[in-house]
Amino acid sequence: MLSVKNLHATVEGKEILRGINLEVKAGEVHAIMGPNGSGKSTLASVLAGNEKFTVTEGSVEFLGHDLLSMSIEDRARLGLFLGFQYPVEIPGVTMANFMKLAVNEQRKYRGEEPLSAAEFLRLMKEKSAVVELSSKLTARAVNEGFSGGEKKKNEIFQMAMLDPKLAILDETDSGLDIDALRIVATGVTKLHTAENATVVITHYQRLLDYIVPDVVHVLYKGRIIYTGDKTLALKLEKEGYDWLINQYDK
């Protein structure tokens, strides 16, 4: 589904990604871990197409498309979803209105008719249940006045609405209390099928108790320095990154 080869990217002339290689297949869950500043969020942003970053080398294939040549919105319409670490507020624009536009843009891209108001409302109701999101929130402005937990739930709600092929969740667990974490994580698990894939970026093992990864990668200094199975996350939780980093830095 996703094939990243030797990806290099810079921001303001500084190289952050220094040769990422990553293969993600349908039905898989990948976790990307690593110390602060290793380039995890940059990888998510670059794949989504954030123009703050400049790709200097490498290639990315997504569902048979040359991802790097596509616009941000076309990547999204094709089925790439980014769950934001810091979701932005859009004052005065209701979640319902925002999602209606988003869903219908995606349908248009696929050559489908827009949803009727009734169909859309039904979809909203169904999907907001996935993350136990109050219907009151969907009537409010996008992320405006949402608590940290609500914002993250809202990200997963949008993921449910858009039903992406590949979801990249950037530190979706940060700032969540235990209950919110459980709701968000089980929501993600519910949405997982054999046809889609999830890349979870996280600092902590605790999220992976709910979202069990098939593959765990450790990112350090812009490269994936180690790849293992789910037991790697447990080992990292116990022992930290030092044993890997020391090995790599040598």
Partner 1 sequence: MHAMAENEKEILETIGEQEYKYGFTSAIETETIGKGLSEEVVRLISAKKGEPEWMTQRRVAAYRHWLTLEPPTWAHLKIPEIDFQDIIYYAAPKARKMLGSMDEVDPELKRTFDKLGIPLEEQMALSGVAVDAVMDSVSVKTTFKETLAEKGIIFCSISEALRDHPDLVKKYLGSVVPYTDNFYAALNAAVFSDGSFCYIPKGVRCPMELSTYFRINAAGTGQFERTLIVADEGAYVSYLEGCTAPQRDENQLHAAVVEIVVERDAEVKYSTVQNWYPGDKEGRGGVYNFVTKRGLCRENARLSWTQVETGSAITWKYPSCILAGDNSVGEFYSVAMTNNYQQADTGTKMIHIGRNTRSRIVSKGISAGQSENSYRGLVRVARGAENARNYSQCDSLLIGDRCGAHTFPVIDSRNPTAVVEHEATTSKISDDQLFYCNQRGLSTEDAVGLIVNGYAREVLAKLPMEFAVEAQKLLALQLEGTVG
Nearer to partner 1, 71 or 135 (CB): 71
Residues between 122 and 161 with contacts to partner 1, criterion CB under 8 A: 141-142, 158
The contact pattern for partner 1, residues 54-93, with x = CB under 8 A and - = no contact, is x----------------xxx--xx---xx-x--xx-xxxx
- Asked if 52 touches partner 1 (CB under 8 A), the answer is yes
**Per rule CB under 8 A, count of chain residues that contact partner 1:** 34
213-to-103, 201, 210 alpha-carbon distances in Å: 28, 11, 9
- Asked if 120 touches partner 1 (CB under 8 A), the answer is no
Residue 173, token pair as written in the block: 């667990």
Q: How far is the CB of 227 from partner 1 (least distance, A)?
A: 27
Q: Which of 78, 184, 69, 228 is nearest to 239 (CA)?
A: 228
Q: How far is the CB of 140 from partner 1 (least distance, A)?
A: 12
- Asked if 50 touches partner 1 (CB under 8 A), the answer is yes
Q: Which of 24, 16, 77 is nearest to 45 (CA)?
A: 16
Phi, psi of 158 (to 5 degrees): -65, -35
Q: Where are the alpha helices (DSSP H) in the chain?
A: 40-48, 72-78, 95-109, 117-130, 135-139, 148-162, 178-191, 230-239, 242-249
Part in contact with partner 1 (CB under 8 A); list of ranges 61-69, 104-112, 126-134, 172-180: 104-112
Nearer to partner 1, 8 or 206 (CB): 8
Amino acid at 178: I
211-to-28, 37, 75, 113, 216 alpha-carbon distances in Å: 11, 24, 25, 34, 12
Q: How far is the CB of 93 from partner 1 (least distance, A)?
A: 4
Q: How far is the CB of 115 from partner 1 (least distance, A)?
A: 14
Nearer to partner 1, 53 or 62 (CB): 53
* Cα–Cα distance for residue pair 102/96, rounded to 1 Å: 10
* Cα–Cα distance for residue pair 182/160, rounded to 1 Å: 16
User: By the criterion CB under 8 A, which residues form the site for partner 1?
Assistant: 11-12, 48-54, 71-73, 76-77, 81-82, 84, 87-88, 90-93, 97-98, 101-102, 105-106, 109, 141-142, 158, 162
